[in-house]
Amino acid sequence: MALRVYNTLTGEKELFVPLVPGKVGMYVCGVTVYDYCHIGHARAGVVFDIIYRYLKYAGYDVTYVRNYTDIDDKIINRANQEGTDYRTIADRYIQAFDEDMAQLGLAKPTLEPKATDHIGGIIDIIERLIAKGHAYVSEGDVYYAVESFPDYLKLSGRNLEEMQAGARVEIGDKKRHPMDFALWKGSKPGEPWWQSPWGSGRPGWHIECAMSMEFLGKTFDIHGGGKDLVFPHHENEIAQSEGANGCQFVRYWLHNGFVNINAEKMSKSLGNFFTIREVLKKYDPETLRFFILSAHYRSPIDFSDQNLDEAQSGLERIYSCLAALDDILKGQSQTAEITVVESLSQVGQELQEKVDQFLPRFIEAMDDDFNATQALGVLFETVRATNRFLAETKEMTPISLSLIAHVRHLFVDAGGVLGLFTIVPDVWLAGIRSAKAGQIDLSPDEIERLIVERADARGAKDFKRGDEIRDLLLAKGILLLDSAQGTTWNVK
RNA sequence: GGCGCGUUAUCCAAGAGGCUAGGAGCCGGUCUGCAAAACCGUUAACGUCGGUUCGAAUCCGACACGCGCCUCCA
């Protein structure tokens, strides 16, 4: 069993072999903090979160670095719009980012450096690039000379001639070649600046990620980000780091697919985006995470209420099963002794088989380029076997209890990797119910009053009146659930 | 225009030469005053046309449609 990952650099799934056995260095491009994050950011966050979690689960000592780009044109523009300074904007959206990611249950990276805390290191790298002839100074700016780096565009598989043919690149007179990109920008009046050998200015957008080498070394294992970063951002990162250090920058490049709306990329410019905050008002964080995991991380995923609803239904199925298990295990001591020789029923043996296969199959799925979607299939098969077992087992014997306790532990293990099932099942299920109830224009008191009226009618065998009340509530989207303990309600 | 990706049943979605993926839904059943919920069972598919092969959803070619990158983007 061995982990294989799809490497954008080679276009193939490759056996994952870290530079240093047992250790993994991983860097993911964070966000430019100038606005609230949307669902696309949520996807990137969740995708690399489960990659991080799985690598740790697989026994690696992982150093995970995710940066904040806290100085950039967009931040400055926003600050100007609001009549404030860049720092206020950056700090506000760093905090918002942290809140959103915490809501989504992302594990904290090992390090979360800010670009502005590493200006000195950035200047050093630029100086090395100039010394090696990869960069040049031009009127207070510094540009990277793409023609000086023969491997330029190796990641995206393009070539400079083609790029220029369809070019929408502005020919700046400060640049020698239209594809050259800024490493350092001289500051205009009123802009934030840092002192440098080339005058006051600030780093270009691409060089900020060069600080990865400060934490992970000149060569490290995994670099991740959204597919839209392949060109030019990651291409430029390679040019910068390999140009400065003269050795391979990253061994495995991983890129996640987009979130689409009606089969089109969600983006700010199209205006078809939803912020994480908006979506979390309607769906709970694990539902959103489950939705993201319902497609392979490299494929596009279509965001819609219908798909979110389906994700919620699927997650509900698993949580319901876990709630049933907890209910049975609640009163039991952990170490029930098996005193009599017993054997499992047919369905018990089938469940036992699912349990035995669980981790091997889960690991096989995750080892295959982090195929969480397939891993979820393993969970659902186990849920069905468990439900069958619970339905057909009237009395819990020690061996049955031990089996279902084992099932419960497996879901905790898998949940730890996928970032799911972190909530007590009954609490999660109740939360879903009350969240749905928030969308109904009938108060819980009114509903309760009608339920009492119906109970009275039913007590008097007036089923006609009882059914009328049920239909009335149903028309408002409320389902009544009769059980031996009385009547409860749920939102359709 | 260049480069790349995709097309799997009603919908979402894995799979990458022979092995029941899975979920949601429909339908049938258990339960119920009748229902609902829950649970069980069941259903059906690989864009089109060719080729390779004993065997193709899977490999190759063409075509159609959709999408992405080539400007800031996760």
pLDDT digits (tens, 9 = 90+) for A108-146: 999 999 999 999 999 999 999 999 999 999 999 999 999
d(Cα A269, Cα A76) in Å, to the nearest integer?
Answer: 18
**How far apart are alpha carbons A235 and A228 in whole angstroms?**
11
Q: Provide the H-helix boundaries in A246-345.
A: 276-282, 285-293, 305-329
Report the distance from CA of residue A266 to the C1' of nucleotide B74 in Å, as an integer: 10
CB A15 within 8 A of CB A4: yes
Please name every residue paired with A254 in a beta bridge, in sequence order, or none if there are none: A224
Nearest nucleotide to A458, CA against C1' atoms: B33
In contact, A492 and A466? CB cutoff 8 Å: no
Q: What is the mean pLDDT of chain A?
A: 91
pLDDT at A300: 94
As a whole number, mean pLDDT of residues A368-385 equals: 96
Residues 383-412 of A with CB under 7 A from strand B: 383-384, 387-388, 391
> pLDDT over 90 for what percent of chain A?
72
A334 CB below 7 A from strand B atoms: no
- Per residue in A18-77, pLDDT tens? 999 999 999 999 999 999 999 999 999 999 999 999 999 999 999 999 999 999 999 999
Give the closest nucleotide to A11 (alpha carbon vs C1'). Answer: B4
- Nearest nt to the CA of A261 via C1' is B67
d(CA A407, CA A390): 12
Residues (219-278, chain A) with CB within 7 Å of strand B atoms:
225-233, 256-260, 263-269
Give this complex's ipTM.
0.94
Greatest Cα-to-Cα distance within chain A, rounded to the nearest angstrom:
94
Site of tokens 């009237």: A394
Residues 112-141 of chain A within 7 A of strand B, judged by CB, are none
**A137-175, pLDDT tens digit by residue?**
999 999 999 999 999 999 998 888 877 655 555 555 788
Predicted confidence (pLDDT) at residue A332 exceeds the cutoff of 90: no
pLDDT value for A439: 67
Specify the pTM. 0.93
Nucleotides of B under 7 A from a protein CB: 1-6, 11-16, 21-25, 32-41, 66-74
Rounded-to-integer distance, Cα A465 and Cα A467, Å: 5
Please state the rounded mean pLDDT for residues A299-303. 95
Query: Does the pLDDT value for residue A319 go beyond 60?
Result: yes
Question: What's the CA gap between A247 and A223, in Å, rounded?
Answer: 16
pLDDT over threshold 60, residue A335: no
pLDDT average, residue stretch A347-367: 94
Quickly give A154 CA vs B3 C1' distance in Å.
12
- Domains of chain A and any CATH numbers: 4-256 (3.40.50.620), 315-423 (1.10.730), 438-491 (no CATH)
Counting runs of H as helices and runs of E as strands, what totals does chain A give?
16, 15
